[in-house]
Chains A and B, each alone.
Chain A
Amino acid sequence: MTMPAQTDFAKAVNVLHGGRVDFIIIGGVAAILHGLGFTTYDLDVVYSRDRTNIRRLVKSLEPYHPYLRGAPPALPFVLDEATMRNGLNFTLTTAFGDLDLLGEVTGAGAYPDLLPHSKEVLAFGVRCRRANLDRLIQMKRAAGRPKDLEVMGQMEALLEERRKWQHTSPEDPQ
């Protein structure tokens, strides 16, 4: 079995943050930031399709040689502004590992739709946004993939535990 590439998650988040990119962490890493304990091999983010943001995204990723994950080598693929505007969702491999850039997600919509359902937190050493747990569960449910059922069970259990926590502690466990 081929293992996926090693992803430096802190580096990935710091590159986007350093480039002043508007993004929201979703998927496995967002669930981990909520308290789930499992493994994931890539970073999934919903990015703003705003022209300035696309420019920042392209500029910040350029030094890390983004390329389509799983595509044959030597394809004439360049992640530039035109490519980003013509496409929507990109599953990439980079020098810091696997990164999924999502313009829209089933169950969450685009960046402006997800923004009210996200929260800024300190993680990986920087202030970044991650999707709320309720929305993550809705996204998984909307995706409807059998492989997500186990994770959905964990997420719902976490949601229950968080509610108990909030009941006993006035502090938001974030």
Chain B
Amino acid sequence: MSEPRPEIPTPAEDLNDAKDSLAPAGVFDPVVEVYKKDVDRTILRENLKLSPQERSEKFVSFMKSIWQLREIAEREQRE
């Protein structure tokens, strides 16, 4: 008599198992710690005072500035 075949997990089940074994967000990682010490926290503190809507507006405005700068740089390159 053959033994019952073990159940093969679906990819979704595999993914869930992997998720459950993920390290928590604040786990100590020496490499990340090196990057963390260079973070300008004053910007983070200022942003924390804003609502998500205000942060989205600030981001959209910032990205517009970047694209404007890019256009200027491209125009100057052509001239």
Q: Digitize A149-174: 1 where CB-to-B-CB distance is under 8 Å, 0 elsewhere.
A: 11011101111111001000000011
Pick from A36, A134, A142, A153: contact of B34, CB below 8 A: A153
How far is A153 from B39 in the complex, measured between Cα atoms in Å? Answer: 7
Interface residues of A in 30-52 (CB under 8 A from B): 32-37, 39
Interface-located stretch among A16-24, A59-67, A76-84, A108-116: A108-116
Find chain B residues with CB under 8 A from A33 CB: 52, 55-56
How far is A29 from B35 in the complex, measured between Cα atoms in Å? Answer: 20
Q: How big is chain B's contact interface, by range? A: 35 or more
B contact face: mostly helix, strand, loop, or mixed: helix
How many A-B pairs with Cβ below 8 Å?
125
A contact face: mostly helix, strand, loop, or mixed: helix
How far is A142 from B14 in the complex, measured between Cα atoms in Å? Answer: 14
Write the nearest CB–CB distance from A134 to chain B, whole angstroms. Answer: 4
B36 touches A113 (CB 8 A): no
Interface residues of B in 39-55 (CB under 8 A from A): 39, 41, 43-45, 47-53, 55
With known contacts A9-B60, A122-B52, A133-B25, A152–B32 Cβ distance under 8 A: yes
Chain B interface residues toward A at CB < 8 A: 12, 15-16, 18-19, 22-27, 29, 31-39, 41, 43-45, 47-53, 55-56, 59-60, 62-63, 66-67, 70
Q: What are 5 pairs between A and B in contact, CB < 8 Å?
A: A37-B47, A138-B22, A153-B32, A157-B44, A173-B48
